[in-house]
Chains A and B, each alone.
Chain A
């Protein structure tokens, strides 16, 4: 089976699984980010209303913050990888990975195709919500013509996020439990993405550190670009950084896989 046919089949499998559990998909892609966005928009509304100084904070208006909070909730959901990382870890722990190993499939590619396909599907559903709210309910700085470039950055970020997950998952060959590492890793990354607050609000030293880490491409840079907080130059710089890190993490993942698979006894880890 050719490379493309194999991976397209895996990608289609992810869509079929998602559409089989449509309620799950609705909760995952729409309901959860809507609830998050409601809480965060309320916080920022109170925050910017409370300061009095012409509704401006750090040089940006109330609308900028509301739109940032709105988009950040949705984009952050896209960038996170919980489900597939747990699933891949479980395959190694339980030994069901053998099913993939005995077939002409690559474990890395099989799950990468599924992960990307699932994320594309949830992105298409998810991002229409903030786009419609920003267009019809809360008019403000959102520039939808910037969305395609932001999506390119998010896609690149997803590859890097998957590669990091793959490294953690390979740890499953050597450790008894990796689910707590997944949780710790995802929460640590969550702090660096800019979902909690726009990175430009942080003190200068912290801001410089966060912008020089690739994780800001998960939320701050794409959302900041869509909502007019930053320009195309930052997006391009971030894209380059993410691609370099995607390469590095991919390489580490492959080396770790080669090392680990030689020691795998075939009976679960």
Chain B
């Protein structure tokens, strides 16, 4: 475990050096995500100009939901985004072979090799925004419920990571898979809206087969809606299931990988 931690720290150091080489690029990455945050927030702020309630939530609850989403998104962008975006390129060019020959778990290498250090800035911003939005709730910050974040944030992150890995690793079978990857972005949109807005069949889908509701909806509900131990357990199970599904799929795909540029 400590070996993997030291490898991770080495990746972090080299990524930071690489990012600092292109500082303008780093700033643009931060700016792009800030624009995305503003756009997502603006959508709901504009809607709440015309109504005081959307489903069961008011604007204050919706802000908590959005900032929760931003936290998971920023963590995903920091740790995994660039690695999984590049995975299909590595497979097509045969660069994955270099990872497979190393005496370290290939999935670990493929997932953490490049850390997007620009997103440390974003994480600071979105965590600040999250506590600001909690402070704006009529009942104040629910301090006693905050420890639940230690379960639901890793779980939400595992769901995003696993679904993305399933799509990225499809390149091991299909080669170029840019269109399949774009489908993931559309699925991810399901996570950017609270689950209660969906029709019953779709809500069932996002809480079970495609558990995108566990990215931000369920964590937010656990913080600000009625307390539910069952929901915490569900979140934990979904997180573990997502991780093991991703792991299993990766190992299945690697066994069938026919090596360089196949």
**A contact residues vs B (CB 8 Å cutoff):** 21, 23-24, 27-28, 31-32, 35-36, 38-39, 42-43, 45-47, 50-51, 57-58, 175-177, 180-181, 183-184, 187-188, 190-191, 196-197, 201-203
Contact B50 A196 (CB under 8 A): no
- Asked if B189 and A176 sit within 8 Å, CB to CB, the answer is no
Given A28-B182, A46-B54, A196-B43, 20 extra CB contacts under 8 A: A27-B180, A27-B182, A36-B186, A38-B202, A39-B186, A42-B197, A42-B199, A45-B197, A46-B198, A47-B47, A50-B51, A57-B51, A180-B32, A183-B32, A184-B28, A191-B39, A196-B39, A197-B42, A201-B50, A203-B46
- Interfacial residues of chain B within 26-79, with CB under 8 A of chain A in the complex: 28-29, 31-32, 35-36, 38-39, 42-43, 46-47, 49-51, 53-55
Interchain CB contact under 8 A, B189 and A177: no
**Bound: A39/B192 CA distance, A:** 9
**B50 / chain A contacts, CB cutoff of 8 Å:** 51, 57-58, 201
Q: Known: A27-B182, A42-B193. Contact between A47 and B51, CB under 8 A?
A: yes
Cross-chain contact A191 with B35 (CB below 8 angstroms): yes
Contacts of B190 in A (CB 8 A): 39
User: Which chain B residues border A57 with CB–CB below 8 Å?
Assistant: 50-51
Across the two chains, which residue of chain B brings its CB closest to A191? Answer: B39
C-alpha gap A47/B185 in the complex (Å): 23
A-B contact pairs, 19 of them (CB 8 A): A23-B179, A27-B179, A28-B179, A31-B183, A39-B186, A42-B193, A43-B193, A45-B199, A46-B55, A47-B54, A50-B54, A176-B22, A176-B25, A180-B28, A180-B32, A183-B32, A184-B31, A187-B32, A190-B39
Query: What distance in Å separates the Cβ of A23 from its nearest Cβ neighbour in chain B?
Result: 7
Min Cβ gap A52→B in Å is: 9
Given A23-B179, A28-B182, A197-B46, is A177 in contact with B25 using a C-beta cutoff of 8 Å?
A: yes
Q: Decide: A187 and B39 in contact? CB cutoff 8 A.
A: yes
Q: Are A24 and B178 in contact (CB under 8 A)?
A: yes
Q: Which residue of A lies closest to B187 (CB)?
A: A35
- Is residue B196 contacting chain A, with contact meaning CB distance below 8 A? yes
Residues of chain B with a CB closer than 8 A to A203's CB: 46, 49
Q: Is the CB of B55 within 8 A of A50?
A: yes
Q: What distance in Å separates the Cβ of B203 from its nearest Cβ neighbour in chain A?
A: 9
With A36-B186, A36-B189, A46-B196 as given contacts, are A191 and B42 in contact (CB-CB < 8 Å)? yes
Tell me the complex Cα distance, A196–B44, Å.
9
Please measure, in the bound complex, the distance between the C-alpha atom of A36 and the C-alpha atom of B185, giving whole angstroms: 9
1/0 per position for B139-176, CB-CB distance to A under 8 A?
A: 00000000000000000000000000000000000000
Residues from chain B with Cβ under 8 Å of A184 in the complex: 28, 31-32, 35
User: Is B28 a contact of A39 with CB atoms below 8 Å?
Assistant: no
- Please state if A180 and B47 are interface contacts (CB–CB under 8 Å): no
| B28/A202 in contact, CB under 8 A | no
Find chain B residues with CB under 8 A from A180 CB. Answer: 25, 28-29, 32
Given contacts A24-B178, A27-B182, A42-B198, contact A187 B47 (CB under 8 A): no
Compute how far the CA of A27 lies from the CA of B184 in the bound complex, rounded to whole angstroms: 11
Are B179 and A24 in touch, CB under 8 angstroms? yes
B28 pairs with A181, CB closer than 8 A: yes
Residues of A within 8 A of B38 (CB): 191
Residues of chain A with a CB closer than 8 A to B197's CB: 42-43, 45-47
B1-35 vs A, CB cutoff 8 Å, 1 = contact: the mask equals 00000000000000000000010110011011001
B180 to chain A, nearest CB (A): 7
Q: Determine the distance from Cα of A58 to Cα of B202 in the docked complex, in whole angstroms.
A: 27
